[in-house]
Chain A
Amino acid sequence: MSSEPTIKADRLAIVLNCLAAAMMMGALYMVFLYAPREINMGDVQRIFYFHLGAAWVGFLAFFVTMVSGVLYLWKGVSRWDILSNASAEVGTVFMTMAIISGSLWARPVWNTWWTWDPRLTISAIQWLLYLAYFMLRAGIENPGQRARFASVYGIIAFLTVPLSFFSIRLWRTIHPVVTSGAGTDSATGSFNMTTSMRHTLFFCLATFSVLYLTLLRHRLRLAWTQERADWLRQRVLSRM
């Protein structure tokens, strides 16, 4: 028998909202005022902090999707699948931001909208995997089957990410991308990080992680409400 899904009042969301907002303020300050201007690329380098933050969340969210997929297959409880889906949605948004910010960074620095450098490429691959995940979910009516298939795909897809990354890096080591740039460093997209840059980067990663948790919490609440609505609808229909 299916039991009534319950939803409690959400203090956690309020706390997360405030924390995320505060940290974002801090991050903006650090990125624009605290971190120094990069010698070769100039101010456009500052996009790197958000680019990496978004890419990190995209990857983290994918990991959460995989783990909750494993838990769903193990326990059979639908809330794990709901978490998988929610995390994938939030992750896709961040991965999109990572790709766009990467592209915006590439243009002024290397005069191209896209570069096949390992980080950007692996972001694109993860984005495609996310897309496939959603297409799979959209194509299945039976909720149990949808959850099982999505869980299996999420697991396999995530496992291929490190393998893809290594293969791309090996590829780029053997065939480096030669682009025009101000100096030899920026030609391959690297720059020397000062201590304050490092501080800024870590703070940004933390900020984006909190932002991820906040958005995830909101998305989960939405999904739980949807589940309750579905359950109620089914109750009404079966009484008729």
Chain B
Amino acid sequence: MNFIRKVVAIIHKDITTELRTKEMFSSMVVFSLMAVFIFSIALDVTASDPMDTTPGLLWVTIAFAGTLGLNRSLAQEQENGCIDGLLLAPMDRSAIFFGKAVGNVLFMSMVELVIVPIFAALFNVPLLRGSVWLVVVLGTLGYASVGTLFSTMAVNTRAREVMLPILLLPVAVPIFISAVNATGGFLAGDPVSDVANWLQLLVAYDAIIIAVSFMTFDFIVEE
């Protein structure tokens, strides 16, 4: 129980900081808007069926906006050596992982709440249905978890924030393929049995990646 309280304390700290500065949220949303705009122009989306292209564009946007948030979240702990403050706390180090990961999931979700409706409106596709939100949640869970682990590594490298997308994107391929296809399937109104395979893959990926991330987190933060 104490463990959970400490995880909650970390999440609360991150939310409080974000409410003060609104840095993460604003940069992620602004980036997403710019991305949508540029995609629309560059790909001439009107020429092809938006039902085909929107799922892909949506997930690319989520992926890159996500890395902004993940980077920012861990960079905060680099300032003033704050990560040491967390490491000095009398708790299992995995509490740090869960605290940051849940925080990252929450921040990504807030941004998604904004950009999914924008995508729906801009491309005139029925994205605002429960099934699509389910896919978004499943994809975000896995992405943010392994993203938290990798951004903890990335901030310790010479290239810093630039390292995160390099590490994260190839590892997140199963998420992209599954999420894009599941989103597309739900948009097209495919029967659940068809889309179920994709959802199963997402759930399997999430379970494995969250477990391995939390088990290896200790090795990343220790010296």
Contacts and interface: CB of A to CB of B under 8 A. Distances in A.
Interface of A: 73, 125, 128-129, 131-132, 135-136, 139-141, 144-145, 148-149, 151-153, 155-157, 159-160, 163-164, 166-168, 170-171, 174
B102 interface: no
Given A132-B166, A157-B171, A152 B198 contact: no
A140 B167 contact: no
Contacts of A152: 149, 153, 216, 219-220
Contacts of B222: 148
A149 B205 contact: no
Contacts of B208: 159, 163
Contacts, number: 94
Nearest to B197: A170
B157 to A, nearest CB: 3
Nearest to A175: B181
Given A132-B166, A136-B153, A155 B212 contact: yes
Nearest to B208: A159
Contacts of A151: 219
Give the interface SS of chain A, mostly helix, strand, loop or mixed: helix
Q: Which 4 A-B pairs give the minimum distances between C-beta atoms?
A: A139-B157, A167-B177, A163-B174, A128-B170
Given A136-B167, A167-B173, A156 B213 contact: yes
Main secondary structure of the interface of B (DSSP, over half): helix
A171 B213 CA distance: 26
Given A125-B170, A128-B169, A164-B174, 11 more contacts: A129-B170, A135-B163, A140-B158, A153-B167, A156-B171, A156-B213, A163-B208, A164-B177, A166-B174, A166-B201, A170-B197
Nearest to A133: B167
| Contact-residue size bin, chain B (C-beta under 8 Å from the other chain) | 20 to 34
A111 to B, nearest CB: 23
B204 interface: yes
Contacts of B163: 135-136, 139
B177 A132 contact: no
Q: Which of A73, A132, A148, A152 has the most CB of B within 10 A?
A: A152
A196 B171 CA distance: 38
Given A140-B158, A155-B216, A164 B173 contact: yes
A156 B216 contact: yes
A135 B156 CA distance: 13
B42 interface: no
A73 B167 contact: no
A134 B198 CA distance: 31
Nearest to A130: B170
B156 to A, nearest CB: 7
B219 A156 contact: no
Interface in B145-161: 146, 149-150, 153, 156-159
A233 to B, nearest CB: 22
Nearest to B150: A153
A73 to B, nearest CB: 5
Contacts of A171: 177, 181
A73 B158 CA distance: 23
A135 B174 contact: no
A145 B152 CA distance: 12
B68 interface: no
Interface centre among B171, B194, B212 (most CB of A within 10 A): B171
A96 B198 CA distance: 30
A129 B170 CA distance: 6
A153 B153 contact: yes
24 contacts: A125-B173, A135-B163, A139-B159, A140-B156, A151-B219, A152-B153, A152-B219, A153-B150, A155-B212, A156-B146, A156-B171, A156-B209, A156-B212, A157-B170, A159-B209, A159-B212, A160-B171, A160-B173, A160-B174, A160-B209, A163-B174, A163-B205, A164-B173, A167-B177
